[in-house]
Amino acid sequence: MTSASPAQIALAQQLADASAAVIRGYYRSPLSIDDKLDASPVTQADREAERVMRNLIAASRPTDGIIGEEYGEENADADWVWVLDPVDGTKSFTVGRPLFVTLIGLLYKGVPVLGVINQPITEDRWMGGVGVPATLNGQPLHSSEIGEIAAARIGTTGPEYLDVAKPVFDALVKACRYPIYGGDGYLYAQVASGWLELVIEEGLKLHDFAALAPVVQAAGGVMSDWQGKPLVLGSEGRVVASANPAIHAQVLPQLAALPV
Q: What is the pLDDT of residues 160-186, one digit of tens each?
A: 999 999 999 999 999 999 999 999 999
Q: Is 72 left (phi over 0), alpha (psi -120 to 50) or beta?
A: left
Q: Which tens digits make up the pLDDT trace of 135-146?
A: 999 999 999 999
Total-model pTM: 0.95
Based on the fold, state whether residues 115 and 17 are members of the same structural domain: yes
- What is the Cα–Cα distance from 101 to 97, expressed in whole angstroms? 11
In a domain, 65, yes or no: yes
End-of-domain residue from the set 140, 164, 184: 140
Q: Clarify whether residues 10 and 121 are in a common domain.
A: yes
Range of the domain at 46: 6-140
Same domain, 94 and 134: yes
Of 117, 140, 163, at which residue does a domain stop?
140
Q: What is the mean pLDDT of the chain?
A: 95
Better-predicted residue by pLDDT, 35 or 253? 253
Tally of domains within the chain: 2
Which CATH number characterizes residue 164's domain? Answer: 3.40.190.80
- CATH code, 23: 3.30.540.10
Do 179 and 87 fall into the same domain?
no
For residue 38, the model assigns a pLDDT of: 66
- Tell me: do 220 and 132 sit in the same domain: no
Check: CB of residue 216 under 8 Å from CB of residue 188.
Answer: yes
153 has pLDDT over 80: yes
